[in-house]
Structure 1
Amino acid sequence: MLLTFRQSDYRSLFIINGVLALQTAMLVPIYPLWIMEEMNTSVTTVFFLLSIIGVGTALLNMAVGHFADRLGQRKALVELTVLLGVLRTVLFAFFPNVWVLLIVSSLTQISNGGITFAILKERIQKHQHGHMEGLLTSTVRMSVSVGYIIGPAIGVFLASAFSFQMFFFISAFLYVILFFLSRVMLTEPAKKQPEHTEKTKTAKGQWMFVVLGFSLVILLFSGNIAVDTLLSVHIDRSYAPWVLAAVFAVSPLFELLAFPLAGWASDRFGLRITLLYGTIVGIVYFSIFFFFTSLPVLFLNQILGAVYTACLFTSLMLFIQQLFRHRLAFSSSMYFSAISLASILSNSLMGSALAGSQLTTGFLLLSGVTFVGLCLFGLMVFLETKTTALKEDKSAVS
């Protein structure tokens, strides 16, 4: 873990991802409440709006990943997405209505993670730290947990003490700071243009795994995405504002321990074993919320949520990157695009399920979706093993 902070490449990505996470974490408990209060919408409408926004985000992520591999200008693309974040938050501050939300979010909401983690993967290869890939990836990802520890409290404080408009102004200012951090701290990875054609052919030849990989990330991340909105609405209806900030800080706090352990487990026992057990933990996590929603359970169950999140953001991402190891930005952006598509599935399911049901029904539905994802993961491992065996047989014959 200390290597992450000694090596400037890893340290820079740790800081930048942490500030990005702070931005997102500030918005997590506020976003659904802002939509409901400022736009006079219902809980069901919130879920459907968020699902529509996910379509534009997914398409933009894939486009960014493709051009990052093709052009090699990954630092410039990170800076562009940050500037789009400034534009988005300023527009939200001045124009809080449904049409602005849909249009602006669909055109500007791009995940930087696809590019930054592609840069991380490249740096790990450059420094020949492949034997520590899981631990290094989880440690850099741990900075996101740091952002999520303080982010929800800051977001709730700003929205409660001032206004939603002031909240978005401050968010825009943080994006400006992030832009200058990216300019100073990130370096442009070396471009290897001659390899591009072969890399593209490799990705096209694995179209089946592209579809399956998308589906796997969507199914496993649907619960991770939707549970925050479910918890926000449930806690807002039943408890004081400080409880909202406190509950959302518990999971990231334990993630500081869970992420290094998940990375170590991935290196020690393998990505597939770690992801298998992490997904089972996720199923248990959602099921507990269906049966128990008392305040002590809300806090204690977040520990399981931390383990589930750590496995998803470490083992699952590395698993997808291994499937398309020759196109780093594409595989990373595909992973984050699938997360955006997961928001469509989860929010649509939640909107439909909660139209005539209680909030707790949503937790049971998320448990079922995660179980389907577990079954698909087993199928993918089987197919990958079979495909690898066929390739080895062909190589032996030739």
Structure 2
Amino acid sequence: MWWHVYPLGFTGAPIRETEAEHPEPHRLTRIEAWLDHVVELGLNGIALGPIFASTTHGYDTTDHLSIDPRLGDEDDLRSLVAAAHDRGVRVLLDGVFNHVGREHPAFLSALESGEGAALFRLGADGKPEVFEGHDALVELDHSSDAVVDLVVEVMDHWLRLGVDGWRLDAAYSVPTAFWARVLPAVRERHPQAWFLGEVIHGDYAQIVAESTMDSVTQYELWQGIWHALADANLFELQHAIVRDDELLAAFVPYTFVGNHDVTRIASAVGPDLAPHALAVLMTVAGTPAIYAGDELGMQAVKEERIGGDDAVRPEMPPVPPTADELDGPAAHMLHVTRTLVAIRRRHPWLTRAHTDVVDVANGTIVLRTATADAAIVTLLNITGEAVTLPAADATEVLAGDDVHLADAHATLPPRGWAVLGG
């Protein structure tokens, strides 16, 4: 279970300003200072955003084999990995292999002399292709042996340093045949490595099968959760969960209710419904991830403009706040997160278990996630009235506020939720 961090924002690194305006060496140590917080949440992995040398936001890479000097150096990453592993926490790196920054030395060389041009994809006019209209992001040529060799070399380098796997940025824009050449070659050297593809749309199961990835990002479930809660239409959640179940025959999806590219869940659905979203995340199938700060109920809205991601990628304190230092809503969300993660840890079979929708209306839903001999029941009420819902054979309240269980039914307060077991 992952704690997802966008390092440049988290550590306060300058994104568009120069480092001279905000000098601070070895910012990666800030993440190391939060590792005990990760463990106390009950999570056992940190999924890092981009940490390699780049020009601005990290996705315009200029050197895949060097740590961004705004964050530190290779020794800082070694220290972070060692400290994580000492706590039983795995480390995932963000590999931006669809494109590079326009200031990448290989691209500058290709412009000046033509050397290295085989790395880049050219359009019919002979000009380099760019990623989704972003002129600063030059696309690599994934039909090129040189690009295959480059990506294998980069992955191998950092896996040998000790990291545990890779998130493949913009994997949906890369031909699956490319990944099918790269990933088996890397696995020959690192058979325990785990590979996650960022896939926003498309046939998830087919992409996994053709690419040989281990998992992809489950954007359908993310959208189903927050849309259903925000629009008071829990039939949409029912549809998303049915779709999530269908994927289990092929792979276990990477599930989330927040990340560095989307509006914070507490802003998307409101602070009082953020626990509902997390309750679903932690009781349905998948490999769940929590975006750093969501466990504290942080709010922020993503905007479609230059700098529109900054609010959802804020600088965090050098050390995590204690529960006593948090205001009421933040302390409550932290407690809810720890409680729900603990339930997930006690029932690891949830990772691959199917979920049945026992009862659903626009404002209420009862989910039963089960195996042949164990079950967890999740109930949501997003109405302004108290409701009584079927308990689906559950006999024990595991989590939830002011929940009453009797006569095979559970009564929830207005805007209430519960997780039941037994």
The TM-score normalised by the length of structure 1 is 0.28
Higher relative contact order (CA 8 A, sep 6+): 1
Higher strand share: 2
Higher helix share: 1
Structure whose CA Rg is larger: 2
The TM-score normalised by the length of structure 2 is 0.27
